[in-house]
Structure 1
Amino acid sequence: MEYHVRTMEERDVPYVSKIENEIFSLPWSEKSFIDAACNPDNIYLVCERTGEIAGYCGMWTVMGEGNVTNVAVHPSYRRQGVAEALLKEMERRAKEKSVTIFFLEVRQSNEAAKKLYEKLGYSPIGTRKRFYERPVEDAIVMSKIL
């Protein structure tokens, strides 16, 4: 399938928010996405297919470190390479900002995401106890050094 990964724009936020609300029990608000995407230090991307947003991701960058804040794919586009395309492009752009290490958290039970992150070179480095709510669950902290 052919996808187009590009910078998230304010006009994308209602569609991103729809996916966010469908997937997550504590979704980000539209304002949170706008604020994050408009910060020039951050990297927020969407992946489109035939004009429809299939997924999105985001990263905050500070002093050479990147914190992956969001990775989400619409259920109808899962297991089709969307998340991998988004993460690879986000990493490419982060390198341009001199980011040398990435961090992310993932639900302990999210086996599909953990496998993808490991495939892309992320390694587990710790646990954040009771990090997630609804349901309460630990987060596995993962990192990747470039």
Structure 2
Amino acid sequence: MEITEVYSYDDPNAEDVIVKVAQYAGPARALGLPFWVFAEKRNPIGMVVFGREPIQLLAPAGTLMSFILVADPKLTREKIKEFASEALDFVKRTAAQYALAAFPHKRKEAIEEFEALGFEEIDDCYEMTYKITEPFKISDEIQFEKVGKEEILKFIQLAKKFLTNSFDTMQKRTLEFTSELPREFLDAYSKIEEFYFVNKGEQTVGVLNFNAKSGRIGNVSVDPAHRGKGYTEQALKFALNKLLESNIKQAYLRVHVKNEASKKLCEKIGFIPETRVKTLMWKRPETS
């Protein structure tokens, strides 16, 4: 049985359907992203949202991609299978080069049904939060040098180097495509995020970046030769202090599930794991 109702984001007769998935449709509209809602009897089951890179930094700039979202958490396995198949067929009829789907790791049935269609796991991480109440004391053993826009490429190359043996393949992939962005995108990126070199004397031993408006800490990487010296902890505390200076009271970061040392460090500081999320990706087969 097919889900026959598909409503476009700009359909004036679909507002009563779209409002039921406002938590997904609202952000998509705010970003100017087109979307389609799949439903039965005007009750939403899921959505497909389209965007262009560098929205996810998982492909070259300009690449059309899509998000497939299961809107109803109470769907039966059979309905998930049905929706996943129809949504992917919908994506395949467009020029989108890949599709993403993310689920709490406990939703094994949904994950299995998407994997059966050719989706592969590209990330498995804890989303962690920290309530910032007071500043930390920072050691003067290391220094934090703000990165100018002309040094963003140097920052990215160092981050890639420091993450060489990391479990976090998604972050490594993101850095790879970030380094290939046109100069104007990198300049815009440097206005959104704050970037710092972590220095010990004349040597850069780590890198750090965060968003001072959203409170999300994006990357804290330390040179493997300098790990175990407390530099990652100091860098995290520095980021939290800078967020507090910007009147941000809640910090967010993601930690790969295999990176047990980082998770323990974050918990030591006071971060709490809120959810564990698996991200799956379908890629359009390359044509010869």
TM-score (norm 2): 0.40
Secondary structure of the 1:26 match is helix
Alignment partner of 1:95 is 2:244? yes
Tell me: CA distance 1:83–1:2, structure 2 relative to 1, closer, same or farther (3 Å): same
Query: Is the strand fraction higher in 1 or 2?
Result: 1
Secondary structure of the 1:124 match is strand
CA distance in 2, matches of 1:53, 1:14: 15
The partner residue of 1:36 within 185, 189, 200 is: 189
CA distance in 1, matches of 2:143, 2:151: 14
Instruction: Report the AA paired with residue 128 of structure 1.
Output: V
> Offset at 1:12?
4.1
Alignment partner of 1:76 is 2:225? yes
Instruction: Judge conservation of contact 1:36–1:44 (CA < 8 Å) in 2.
Output: no
Instruction: Report the AA paired with residue 145 of structure 2.
Output: R
CA distance in 2, matches of 1:99, 1:131: 31
Instruction: Judge conservation of contact 2:152–2:190 (CA < 8 Å) in 1.
Output: no
TM-score (norm 1): 0.74
Tell me: CA distance 1:35–1:48, structure 2 relative to 1, closer, same or farther (3 Å): farther
> Offset at 1:33?
6.1
Runs of 4 or more consecutive aligned structure 1 residues displaced over 4 Å after TM superposition: 31-34
Q: Percent identity?
A: 20
Alignment partner of 1:49 is 2:188? no
CA distance in 2, matches of 1:129, 1:34: 31
> Offset at 1:21?
2.0
Q: For structure 1, list consecutive stretches of 5 or more residues without a partner in the other structure.
A: 133-146
Aligned to 1:141: none
**Cα deviation per residue 1:4-57 (whole Å; 9 max; x = unaligned)?**
123222354344223322216314224576543333xx3322210122211111
Aligned to 1:116: 265
Instruction: Judge conservation of contact 2:147–2:155 (CA < 8 Å) in 1.
Output: no
Alignment partner of 1:10 is 2:161? no
Instruction: Report the AA paired with residue 127 of structure 1.
Output: R
CA distance in 1, matches of 2:151, 2:264: 28
Answer with 1 or 2: which has the greater Rg. Answer: 2
**Cα deviation per residue 1:45-100 (whole Å; 9 max; x = unaligned)?**
221012221111111133xx401111111111111121111111111111111101
Tell me: CA distance 1:33–1:51, structure 2 relative to 1, closer, same or farther (3 Å): farther
Instruction: Judge conservation of contact 1:47–1:53 (CA < 8 Å) in 2.
Output: yes
Secondary structure of the 1:115 match is helix
Aligned to 1:26: 173
Instruction: Judge conservation of contact 1:43–1:94 (CA < 8 Å) in 2.
Output: no
CA distance in 1, matches of 2:188, 2:203: 22
Q: For structure 2, list consecutive stretches of 5 or more residues without a partner in the other structure.
A: 1-139, 164-170, 282-288
Secondary structure of the 2:209 match is strand
